[in-house]
Amino acid sequence: MEFGPIFRSMRRNKVRYGLIVAEVALTLAIVANCVNMIRDYKRQLAIQSGFDDDNIIRVTSRPFAPAFKEDGYLDNSLREDLAALRAIPGVRAVSNTRFLPWQGGGSSMETRVLGSKGEMLRNQVYNADEGTLAALGAKLIEGRNFAREETESETLRMRQIFAKPRPTGADGTPLEKTSQDIIISKAFGQLLFPDGKALGKHLEDTDGDQYTIVGVIDRFYNPYGWPIHEYVMFFPSYSRNFLGGAGYLVRAEPGKRAAVQASIEKALIKANAGRTVQVQELTQIKERFQSRTSLVATILSTLIVLLLFITSLGIVGLTVFSVNERTRQIGTRRALGAQRADIIRYFLLENWIVTTLGLALGIVLAFALNVTLVARVSSPKMEPSLVAAGVFLLWIAGLAATFLPALKGAKVAPAVATRNV
């Protein structure tokens, strides 16, 4: 192998080879880090809510007619809305709840195991009726769902308790504690009871109000501003008021979503005018929530492609230059008996050495850049296997970019050596 001549040639043309080394090193560092970030974004985008996202429609009714200020009118209108929504052909389930998956937030509270004196844990909290789990497509794995009569009576009972200030005891919390049945997510159950079953256990909140776990659902994921995406409790209640309106989740039969969606506004206005109705499919809400992440992933992927193109171009350019400059040397070698394969091998070997030097520097740069990105933009830590894959890819790319110019060099006729000496 021609290591001797290659190293001597490299010493004489430090800058030219240095350029390829720098370019390869930078490319490896950028590509490895971009792919690392893209993989992290893809992981985020792949998280499942645990619900039948594709077939769910969100409906919001916002009243403006003064009649809606009256409790009885609001209750009637809610019942009529639920009936009207259920009557639409193609509807599988309907629910009145404030919960809206994928909106990037919601409401939360703090609870702990009753009597534990332990730390309060934050969890998401939403009202639910008998149709909520069916409307979400959430799977109940233990216990029971809420019943319709239960939702009705609990709504009235809690409304009465909270209609006026509650007398408090010496500790500042209400004297009379309330007690409600709740359904929680499996993940929240595991957080509360790391080594036991959650079903039938009791919780308390910061007022000492109590909750009994009567059901557990398999999976729940709703991205929240605080790290409580998988922790939720549902309590049985309808929810509506004049200022906030009422929210519904409608789940359509597979393939019927668009048709159901088109008839919702008319059906609700027919049931009760004096309000506006907003209808939106959950997939759109989810897309909006994820749009930033998916756009950044797309942009970074595009940058990688452009970058690899430019780097290959640079390697081709420098090899062409290097071949042209050495036309006479090649002719001399050919005249002295070197085969074409020898010439090609020479250039491939030379390029491989240069690329490898670049990659060695690039590995260092890739990890250095990753340290910066981790510190500044909380990107994930670099996985060494990713850098290894990058090294392999750039080796191939380097050899491929060298091959054509080297082939051209190999075609130089031995006679060239005799001209112009």
d(CA 60, CA 244): 9
* Residue 133 beta carbon to other proteins: minimum distance, rounded to whole angstroms: 27
Q: Which stretch binds other proteins (CB under 8 A): 91-99, 215-223, 370-378, 387-395?
A: 370-378
Given 87, 120, 141, 388, the residue binding other proteins (CB under 8 A): 120
* Residue 320 beta carbon to other proteins: minimum distance, rounded to whole angstroms: 7
* Residue 136 beta carbon to other proteins: minimum distance, rounded to whole angstroms: 23
d(CA 421, CA 419): 6
For CA atoms 231, 234, 235, 237, the dihedral sign is positive
Q: Choose between 321 and 392: whose C-beta lies nearer to other proteins.
A: 321
- The answer to the question of residue 377 lying near other proteins (CB under 8 A) is yes
- The answer to the question of residue 71 lying near other proteins (CB under 8 A) is no
- The answer to the question of residue 375 lying near other proteins (CB under 8 A) is no
Q: Choose between 127 and 145: whose C-beta lies nearer to other proteins.
A: 127
d(CA 334, CA 346): 12
- The answer to the question of residue 62 lying near other proteins (CB under 8 A) is yes
Coil, helix or strand at residue 393? helix
- The answer to the question of residue 15 lying near other proteins (CB under 8 A) is yes
Q: Choose between 48 and 378: whose C-beta lies nearer to other proteins.
A: 378
Q: Choose between 147 and 313: whose C-beta lies nearer to other proteins.
A: 313
Question: Which residues touch 94 (CB under 8 Å, ≥6 apart)?
Answer: 82, 85, 86, 131, 135, 248, 249, 250, 251
- The answer to the question of residue 385 lying near other proteins (CB under 8 A) is no
* Residue 58 beta carbon to other proteins: minimum distance, rounded to whole angstroms: 14
Write out the binding residues for other proteins, residues 16-45 only, by CB under 8 A: 16, 19-20, 22-23, 26-27, 29-30, 33-34, 37
- The answer to the question of residue 90 lying near other proteins (CB under 8 A) is no
* Residue 174 beta carbon to other proteins: minimum distance, rounded to whole angstroms: 5
- Report the C-alpha dihedral over residues 310, 316, 321, 326, rounded to 10 degrees: 160
Measured at the CA of 356, the angle between CA 355 and CA 361, to 5 degrees, comes to: 100
* Residue 391 beta carbon to other proteins: minimum distance, rounded to whole angstroms: 17
Coil, helix or strand at residue 126? strand
Write out the binding residues for other proteins, residues 386-405 only, by CB under 8 A: none
38-58: b (≥16 Cβ within 10 Å) or e: bebbeeeeeeebbbbbebbbb
Scan for tokens 């050596």, then name that residue: 417
A 10 A CB-CB count for 95 gives 24
- The answer to the question of residue 303 lying near other proteins (CB under 8 A) is yes
d(CA 8, CA 114): 79
Write out the binding residues for other proteins, residues 157-216 only, by CB under 8 A: 162-168, 171-175, 206-208
* Residue 30 beta carbon to other proteins: minimum distance, rounded to whole angstroms: 5
* Residue 343 beta carbon to other proteins: minimum distance, rounded to whole angstroms: 20
The bridge status of strand 121-128 relative to strand 232-236 is: parallel
- The answer to the question of residue 420 lying near other proteins (CB under 8 A) is yes
Residues 343 and 330 sit within 8 Å (Cβ to Cβ) = yes
